[in-house]
Amino acid sequence: MKIPHFAALALSWWSALFLTMHSSAQAPSPAGVKTLRDLAYVEGGAERQKLDLYLPEKAAAPLPLIIWIHGGGWAAGDKAGCPAQRMTAQGYAVASLNYRLSGDAIFPAQIEDCKAAIRWLRVHAKEYNLDANHFGVWGSSAGGHLVAMLGTAGDVKDFDKGGHLDMSSRVQAVCDYYGPTDLLQMDAHAIPLARLKHDPATSPESRLIGGAIQENKEKTARANPIAYITPNDPPFLIVHGDQDPTVPHHQSELLFDALKKAGVSVHFHTIHGAGHGNGFAGKNIDDMVNAFFDRNLKTTSATRSAPEVLTTESTTSATGPDRAPPGGGAPAQPGGALRIPWEAILSRDDKNQDGKISREEFSGPAQLFDRLDRNHDGFITREEYEAFQSQVRGQRPTATPAAASTPAPAATPKPTAN
């Protein structure tokens, strides 16, 4: 029997969590790379205000830096899952940072943390052999939203809090994987298969803002990266699947159109058939990301071409989840513990919408239900789920769910007039 795409995605999440439950091995660092973990970027700060650094050991000159920002609905996720680690083999230093989650502090705490981390990295650039003039950011889902905010609000002083305020928190390149932008428009443009609603007070977006987004429009508008766009913003690469059931493709369309209107260099790549992270495997996608960062972080401004506006597209032939950046609904987090928000789980398995999941509703392995149902009453509650997540936090999966995936064909360019 053919499993509907949405159901297959839900099954893959539970399967990946099941793998996480049985794994405790630390993800190895790439060969020839020095790893520094849990560096506090805020003196005396919260536990979440830390980052990891991956530094190629044989670099003769200061290296450009790529900073990974994880997803997870601003409510979950961890710096341990860092797909940007592969960029150390391309001549980059890589940082992966945690930030305060919405359960601990509402917006703008998240962007304040990201900007504080960038300032800290610039202060310590000489110590870690970093090129302070060439910082790029890359993130997926909620992380995509935060990197877009870094790109457009780099000069917004309202978000600069804490130490090293004499340092710039601007970045020189932004790679945004399926990040939200205008939260108020998400439900209006959701695809038919989408079950996660963004307007209710219990949604990830409302928890980020501190109240139902449609009832707090001014606060919500403050979290929209489009509101801060200026012509001197750094180049953007935006990648989004047109069948994303969590963050509508329309969110990236809005960002692309606004950047284009302002005269900012932007490349918008659509993956036809791809969902929320799944469908992103393929050498062509990796090569596109590599070329984007090389063009903007390894060349001087004098040798770069004039701002360009470009749209390209490719098609995924994957029939199930594949390698995907962590966060915001990606089925697995390579190199880090799986962290899926409870609201996302409810949207998929809570058929009768009573706020808990019965054995009959549960779509994952029976063994996993027994582990999650800690009081053995036949239901999984938020408290039980989050207690289990705390138990596996810090563990590293040794594998991701098997996938039938074929690399996407080469991107088809569609030049767009400025």
Output the average pLDDT for the chain.
84
How many CB atoms are closer than 10 A to CB 391? 12
Strand ranges across the sheet with 173-177: 33-40, 50-56, 93-97, 63-69, 130-140, 173-177, 236-241, 266-272, 309-315, 412-415
- Distance, CA of 335 to CA of 80 (rounded, Å): 6
14 or 217, greater pLDDT: 217
> Residue 124: how many CA atoms within 13 Å on its side-chain side?
15
Domains of the chain by residue range:
5-337+398-415, 342-392
pTM of the model: 0.76
pLDDT, residue 11, reads 47
Tens of pLDDT, residue by residue over 178-226, are 999 999 999 999 999 898 999 999 999 999 999 999 999 999 999 999 9
What is the predicted pLDDT for the residue at 278? 87
Residue 396, number of CB atoms within 10 A of its CB: 19
Mean pLDDT value of segment 120-146: 98
Distance CA 308, CA 310 (A): 6
CATH code of the region 342-392: 1.10.238.10
Per the model's pLDDT, the better-predicted residue between 258 and 364 turns out to be 258
Q: Are 170 and 137 in contact (CB under 8 A)?
A: no
Q: What is the pLDDT of residue 30?
A: 74
pLDDT tens readout for residues 65-79:
999 999 999 999 999
Q: Is the dihedral of CA 363, 365, 369, 372 positive or negative?
A: negative
Confidence band (pLDDT; 50, 70, 90) for 374? confident
Residue 36 has pLDDT above 60, yes or no: yes
- Give the whole-angstrom CA distance, residue 28 versus residue 54: 11
- State the pLDDT at residue 299: 84
Lowest mean pLDDT among 112-116, 174-178, 266-270, 411-415: 411-415
Most confident of 3-17, 203-217, 387-401: 203-217
Give the residue among 186, 189, 195, 178 at the shortest CA–CA distance from 214: 186
pLDDT at 391: 64
CA distance 3 to 158: 48
- Tokens 């999966």: give the residue: 397
**Which residue is it, tokens 């003196």?**
43
What pLDDT is recorded for position 334? 36
Give the residue-averaged pLDDT of 263-281.
94
- At residue 340, does pLDDT exceed 80? no
Span of 84-93, 230-239, 241-250, 275-284 with lowest mean pLDDT: 275-284
User: Which of 211-228 are b and which e, b meaning 16 or more Cβ less than 10 Å from the residue's Cβ?
Assistant: ebbeebeebbebbbbbeb
Q: How many residues does the chain have?
A: 418
Residue 23 clears pLDDT 70, i.e. is over it: no
* Contact indicator for 71, 344 with CB cutoff of 8 Å: no
At 143-186, the pLDDT tens digits run 999 999 999 999 999 999 999 999 999 999 999 999 999 999 99
Q: What's the confidence (pLDDT) of residue 139?
A: 98
Residue type, 291: A
- The per-residue DSSP string of 29-41 comes to PPTTEEEEEEEES
In the block, which residue shows the tokens 């200026």? 230
Of 51-60, 181-190, 385-394, the least confident = 385-394
Question: What pLDDT shows up at residue 250?
Answer: 98
Which of 231, 55, 65, 86 shows the shortest CA–CA distance to 136?
65
In this prediction, residue 411 has a pLDDT band, given cuts at 50, 70 and 90, of low
Quote the pLDDT of residue 158: 95
393 pLDDT band (50/70/90 cuts)?
Answer: low
CATH of domain 5-337+398-415: 3.40.50.1820
